[in-house]
Amino acid sequence: ARPSEVRAPTGPGRTQDGHRVELLANIGDPSGAAEAAQAGAEGIGLFRTEFCFLDRTSEPSVAEQAEAYRQVLERFPHKKVVIRTLDAGSDKPLPFVTNARETNPALGLRGLRTARIAPQVLENQLAAIAEAGQGTDAEVWVMAPMVSTVTEAEDFVALCERHGLPQAGVMIEVPSAAMMAGQLLSRATFASLGTNDLIQYTLAADRQLGSLADLSDPWHPAVLRLIEASCQGGAQQGRPVGVCGEMAAAPALAVVLVGLGVTSLSMTPRALGDVAAVLSDTDFPTCLRLARLAADAETAEEARMRVRSELPVLR
């Protein structure tokens, strides 16, 4: 659709029969928050804080960070805003945290792992988030990228608690986290599936390599089964599990994700209306059935065809 044709959701996300699915926005800076509010997002599901500081050679001060975060929070009074701590490294190097000389940067010091070499940067960021939160009515949720073990989740949650941030979550972006979701969520209060990276690490296919684009397929049943396992872990602990990777913005995949058990979908603001519309046209038993068909397929192509043939509007 052309921008003028982008539709906004007309209310909170629900399936046709009323199963609730929060529809949230992905943003990278305060101007994104304004756009998300205008597009009818119920909150922010992913604030990529590193996008605010990509051009920096030195660490932004706590006061400067707090101001950027406050500008986002004030757009969403009484709504959830999930702030992700800096996802530096790999495709998003930040000179003040990362080491550019790794041979395998996607498997190196990135995301939460950077706290091994620069713990003070994470401490300062959490201090800035806590400070920003004090000045607003938004619900501040904080999450760490690239969590791969229960110990990492535990340490991150403890650190957030020390900064007075009780809503502390983990991103599930690597298969180890998906398989251990129940244990992670006995520590963390929520999880968000970063499916862009989960696909990359499940298929072992660099997300930036065009020659492997056919392998980076969100319909791959291995990816869908890891998402299902993550949701089962969340359900066992009574904790929400959302998706904030790009696949949440594709209507047919959104139906499948809801059937696999995700509780929220976070996406680029302009996709919210189309996803809201497909959910409001589909009942939850259909989501469950299509999710089963897709996850039980043998190939990505088979999963896609099975679902698309039943959602003809989207073909």
Task: Return residues touching ligand PEP (CB under 6 A).
Answer: 46, 48, 87, 173, 194-197, 244-245
What six digits make up the tokens of 51? 């996008």
Confirm or deny that 197 is annotated as ligand binding.
Answer: yes
Confirm or deny that 48 is annotated as ligand binding.
Answer: yes
Residue 65 touches which member of ligand PEP, Mg ion, none, C-beta under 5-8 Å by kind:
none
Nearest to 68 by CA among 36, 42, 31, 38: 31
Confirm or deny that 292 is annotated as ligand binding.
Answer: no
Contact between 246 and Mg ion by CB under 5 A: the answer reads no
Minimum CB distance to ligand PEP, residue 27 (Å): 11
Minimum CB distance to ligand PEP, residue 44 (Å): 13
Residue 149 touches which member of Mg ion, ligand PEP, none, C-beta under 5-8 Å by kind:
none
287 an active-site residue? no
Catalytic-role residue among 52, 160, 231, 244: 244
Minimum CB distance to ligand PEP, residue 196 (Å): 3
Distance CA 151, CA 303 (A): 35
- Selected from 22, 42, 131, 197, the binder of Mg ion by CB under 5 A is 197
Closer Cβ to ligand PEP, 73 or 227, answer by number: 227
Distance CA 129, CA 66 (A): 6
**What Rg, from alpha-carbon coordinates, does the chain have?**
19
Q: Where are the beta strands (DSSP E) in the chain?
A: 22-27, 44-48, 80-84, 139-144, 168-172, 190-193, 241-243, 264-267
Q: Where are the beta strands (DSSP E) in 198-299?
A: 241-243, 264-267
Residue 195 touches which member of ligand PEP, Mg ion, none, C-beta under 5-8 Å by kind:
ligand PEP
CB 44 within 8 A of CB 76: yes
Contact segment (CB under 5 A) with Mg ion among 63-71, 171-179, 185-193, 267-275 equals: 171-179
DSSP state of 92: B
Closer Cβ to Mg ion, 59 or 197, answer by number: 197
Distance CA 174, CA 198 (A): 5
Residues labelled catalytic = 244
Annotated binding-site positions for Mg(2+): 173, 197
